[in-house]
């Protein structure tokens, strides 16, 4: 047989996970000159694009336009999509080794870090990841219930996801109508009783994890005033001293926060209160086991030996009434059966994208990872590109050294027959384009960008695969 990567014997790659990291990995592989590559991308959902579809806030349509780049990649004859196929149940890692020279895991970080405080598991206390997936129409979460009859909501965390949650809770119906938010979420949020959202940051304005565009948006909502306590907008001496080395984003964040602190209320129906240097210590319940209040401690900053600003509790305690709580303190990955996993870090065990054996710490032949499941949940969508490029270049370097799997059935036709035998209702990219067209058409009738299918059964029915 001819050399792997030749026209007659292409490098056969399986990418598990159809989010940005997976597409950026495919993009880099396809750019390599004089190497013939075919990519089969698997996803357990019938729809591609991962967090761009199911995680990016629906009122951030411009960010979602990155899918146009992914769509061009997916139109290549060397690319195939096998949606509605789950690794671990429909196919296994061992199965993939029989059909591919290389396997890449780009499944993202699918769950959240827990917050270890009394009462965190009370009724009406939720991971923000679940709420984000719910309002974005993720099929696994569309039937979740969130008590939007509550007047005060706490969002624990101050990163971009926390900001998204707070902003969506504060949006007017007219604002949400301009988005692709799930139709059921549109109705429930329109009829919600939420009057105030309190967002909690354990450090100060100079350490806020959101980006300036996100911060600026909070002061521009049609139906909600953003409020910062003036005393919490002021920088402590350590933060003030750190400004000499601060980047432009940090400086802009501080400007926006301090401007909000001096703006005051304008009479809008909702209020978003942004708190700094506070940490929740306990959720308090009523007799029914529902959250009715949150106990918080005031923090002060100290500097570690490495120069990092860390919060520590003071003796100042505060209690605020809240009826609904979302925690947003970071995502973490879940293990894949048969793939080495670093439990404490919540990522696949790897070095520069090469999967490492748990015991020997040597690279596992032919297996790689990219994206959040590789490095942890950091950065924005574009951050996945250099990350994926690093992985793809390791893959190409290993190919050059002959370090690939030796699949028993590398023919493309063999894969098709195999997937059809395991999951006859798999969804191809052509099928996805039909769903995409239907969603946009339904959205156009309502004056919206799209109305999503949010049940797998409805997607399959629309495709005649029920």
b/e sequence 169-181, b meaning 16+ C-beta within 10 Å: bbbbeebbeebbb
Average pLDDT estimate for 122-128: 95
Give the separation between CA 427 and CA 18, rounded to whole angstroms. Answer: 13
Q: For 427, which DSSP code?
A: B
Kindly calculate the radius of gyration of the chain based on its CA atoms and give it in whole angstroms: 24
Given the candidates 3.40.50.720, 3.30.930.10, 3.40.640.10, 3.30.300.250, the CATH classification of the domain at 11-110+333-427 is 3.40.50.720
- Asked if 31 and 389 touch (Cβ cutoff 8 Å), the reply is no
446 backbone φψ class: left, alpha, beta (φ>0; ψ -120 to 50): alpha
Average pLDDT estimate for 359-379: 93
- Asked if 102 and 368 touch (Cβ cutoff 8 Å), the reply is yes
pLDDT at 323: 98
Helical residues (DSSP H) of 100-147, grouped into ranges? 128-135
DSSP secondary structure string, 360-400?
T-PEEEEEEE-THHHH-S-S-GGGHHHHHHHHHHHHHHHHH
Residue 411 has pLDDT above 90, yes or no: yes
Residues spanned by CATH 3.40.50.720 within the chain? 11-110+333-427
pTM of the model: 0.94
Residues near 335 by Cβ (< 8 Å), separated by ≥ 6? 341, 343
Residue 21 has pLDDT above 80, yes or no: yes
pLDDT digits (tens, 9 = 90+) for 182-213: 999 999 999 999 999 999 999 999 999 888 99
Average pLDDT estimate for 402-424: 96
Instruction: For residue 79, name the pLDDT band (cuts at 50, 70, 90).
Output: very high
| Max intra-chain CA distance, the chain | 75
Residues spanned by CATH 3.50.50.60 within the chain? 115-330
The tokens for 44 are 């357990």
Placement of tokens 């100290």 in the chain? 302
Long-range contacts of 407-413 (CB under 8 A, 24+ apart): 407/12, 407/97, 407/98, 407/99, 407/100, 407/101, 408/98, 408/99, 409/98, 409/99, 410/9, 410/12, 410/99, 410/100, 410/101, 412/12, 412/38, 412/80
Residue 153 has pLDDT above 90, yes or no: yes
**126 three-class SS:** strand
E strand or H helix at 460, and its extent? helix 456-462
Residue 111 has pLDDT above 80, yes or no: no
Average pLDDT estimate for 405-417: 95
Which has the closest alpha carbon to 254: 206, 220, 310, 216?
Answer: 206
Average predicted confidence (pLDDT) for the chain? 94
The tokens for 255 are 């400007």
The tokens for 452 are 């999503």
Residue 130 has pLDDT above 90, yes or no: yes
Residue 110 has pLDDT above 90, yes or no: no
Average pLDDT estimate for 440-459: 97
pLDDT at 175: 97
Strands 363-369, 196-200: parallel, antiparallel or unpaired by DSSP? unpaired
Instruction: Quote the crossing angle between the two packed helices 128-135 and 160-170, to the nearest 10°.
Output: 50
- Asked if 59 and 171 touch (Cβ cutoff 8 Å), the reply is yes
Share of the chain above pLDDT 70, in %: 100
Placement of tokens 């020279």 in the chain? 101
E strand or H helix at 227, and its extent? strand 224-228
Which has the closest alpha carbon to 232: 210, 269, 266, 258?
Answer: 258
Please state, as a whole number, how many other Cβ atoms lie within 10 Å of the Cβ of residue 405.
20
Residues near 240 by Cβ (< 8 Å), separated by ≥ 6? none
Give the separation between CA 300 and CA 311, rounded to whole angstroms. Answer: 6
Residues near 394 by Cβ (< 8 Å), separated by ≥ 6? 352, 353, 354, 368
Residue with more model confidence, 334 or 443: 443
Residue 238 has pLDDT above 70, yes or no: yes
Of 36-50, 283-297, 327-341, the poorest mean pLDDT is in 327-341
Residue 162 has pLDDT above 90, yes or no: yes
Residue 22 has pLDDT above 90, yes or no: yes
Instruction: For residue 455, name the pLDDT band (cuts at 50, 70, 90).
Output: very high
**248 three-class SS:** helix
Which CATH fold topology does 115-330 show?
FAD/NAD(P)-binding domain (3.50.50)
Average pLDDT estimate for 377-400: 92
Residue 113 has pLDDT above 80, yes or no: no
pLDDT digits (tens, 9 = 90+) for 251-278: 999 999 999 999 989 999 999 999 999 9
Average pLDDT estimate for 335-345: 89
Please state, as a whole number, how many other Cβ atoms lie within 10 Å of the Cβ of residue 155.
27
E strand or H helix at 250, and its extent? helix 248-261
Give the separation between CA 52 and CA 92, rounded to whole angstroms. Answer: 26
pLDDT at 1: 61
Give CA angle at 400 (394, 405), nearest 5°: 75
pLDDT digits (tens, 9 = 90+) for 219-233: 999 999 999 999 999
Instruction: For residue 114, name the pLDDT band (cuts at 50, 70, 90).
Output: confident
């Amino acid at each position: 047989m001819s050399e792997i990567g030749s026209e007659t014997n292409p490098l056969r790659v399986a990418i598990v996970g159809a989010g940005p990291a997976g597409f950026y990995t495919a993009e880099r592989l396809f750019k390599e000159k004089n190497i013939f590559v075919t990519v089969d991308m698997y996803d357990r959902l019938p729809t591609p694009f991962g967090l761009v579809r199911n995680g990016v806030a629906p009122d951030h349509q411009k960010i979602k336009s990155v899918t146009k780049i992914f769509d061009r990649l997916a139109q290549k004859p060397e690319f195939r999509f096998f949606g509605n196929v789950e690794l671990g149940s429909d196919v296994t890692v061992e199965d993939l080794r029989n059909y591919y020279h290389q396997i890449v895991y780009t499944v993202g970080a699918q769950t959240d870090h827990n917050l270890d405080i009394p009462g965190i598991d009370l009724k009406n206390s939720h991971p923000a990841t679940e709420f984000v997936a719910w309002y974005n129409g993720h099929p696994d979460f569309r039937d979740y219930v969130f008590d939007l009859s509550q007047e005060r909501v706490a969002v624990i965390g101050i990163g971009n996801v926390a900001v998204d949650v707070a902003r969506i809770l504060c949006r007017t119906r007219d604002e949400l109508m301009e988005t692709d938010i799930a139709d059921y979420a549109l109705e429930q949020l329109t009829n919600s009783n939420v009057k105030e959202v309190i967002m909690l940051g354990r450090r100060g304005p100079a350490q806020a994890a959101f980006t300036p565009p996100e911060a600026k948006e909070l002061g521009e909502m049609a139906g909600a005033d953003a409020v910062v306590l003036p005393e919490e907008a002021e920088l402590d001496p350590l933060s003030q001293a750190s400004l000499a080395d601060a980047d432009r984003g940090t400086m802009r964040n501080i400007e926006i926060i301090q401007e909000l602190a001096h703006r005051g209320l304008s009479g809008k129906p909702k209020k978003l209160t942004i708190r700094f240097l506070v940490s929740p210590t306990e959720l308090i319940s009523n007799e029914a086991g529902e959250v009715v209040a949150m106990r918080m401690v005031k923090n002060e900053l100290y500097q570690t030996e490495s120069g990092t600003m860390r919060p520590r509790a003071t003796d100042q305690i505060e209690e605020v009434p809240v009826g609904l709580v979302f925690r947003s303190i970071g995502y973490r990955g879940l293990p894949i059966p048969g793939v080495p996993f670093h439990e404490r870090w919540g990522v696949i065990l790897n070095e520069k994208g090469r999967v490492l054996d748990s015991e020997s710490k040597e690279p596992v032949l032919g297996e790689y990872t990219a994206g959040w499941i590789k490095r942890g949940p950091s950065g924005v969508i574009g951050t996945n590109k250099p990350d994926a490029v690093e992985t793809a270049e390791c893959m190409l370097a290993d190919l050059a050294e002959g370090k690939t799997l030796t699949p028993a059935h590398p023919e493309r036709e063999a894969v098709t027959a195999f997937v059809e035998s395991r999951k006859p209702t798999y969804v191809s990219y052509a099928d996805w384009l039909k769903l995409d067209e239907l969603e946009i058409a339904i959205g156009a009738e309502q004056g919206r960008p799209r109305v999503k299918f949010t049940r797998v059964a409805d997607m399959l029915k629309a495709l005649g695969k029920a």
